[in-house]
Amino acid sequence: MVKCDANKYDACSKDVVESCVTGVKSVDTCNSEWICTTCHSNLKRGKLPSCSKANKMSFPKKPELLNLTPLDERLISPSSIPFMQIRELPRGAQLSIHRNIVMYQVM
């Protein structure tokens, strides 16, 4: 990520830059806008980024139904069952994993 400064993109027209910049500011104290390095390099070269807001590329709105608590997320997520052999080491009563671990995903 790179701090977005619309004045750096002289090779592009202002319309292209304005169509790519989202206008969303960061929540830190500097209140600046950020842009990904791919979009930054494309705009520097005067090209329209392929995954830009101008090409109708954006994240869909999150449905209200999916505002879950962390516990709800764990309960509905696909669970994994690890298969492993845990053995006691000969000295010190420490445990170790013996051989490979196989993760079995329950769907």
Q: Is 69 exposed, middle or buried (0-12, 13-18, 19+ CB in 10 A)?
A: exposed
Q: Say if 8 falls within a structural domain.
A: yes
Q: Say if 37 falls within a structural domain.
A: yes
Q: How confident is the model at residue 81 (pLDDT cuts 50, 70, 90)?
A: low
Q: Say if 29 falls within a structural domain.
A: yes
Angle at the Cα of 44 from the Cα atoms of 5 and 33, rounded to 5 degrees? 25
> Tens digits of per-residue pLDDT, 20-57?
777 777 776 677 788 888 888 888 888 888 877 777 77
Q: Say if 63 falls within a structural domain.
A: no
Q: What is the pLDDT of residue 23?
A: 74
| Domain span including residue 91 | 76-106
Question: Could you tell me if 84 and 50 lie in one domain?
Answer: no
Give the residue from 17, 9, 22, 11 showing the smallest Cα distance to 53: 22
Q: Say if 70 falls within a structural domain.
A: no
Q: How many domains does the chain have?
A: 2
* Alpha carbons 50 and 42: distance in angstroms, whole number: 9
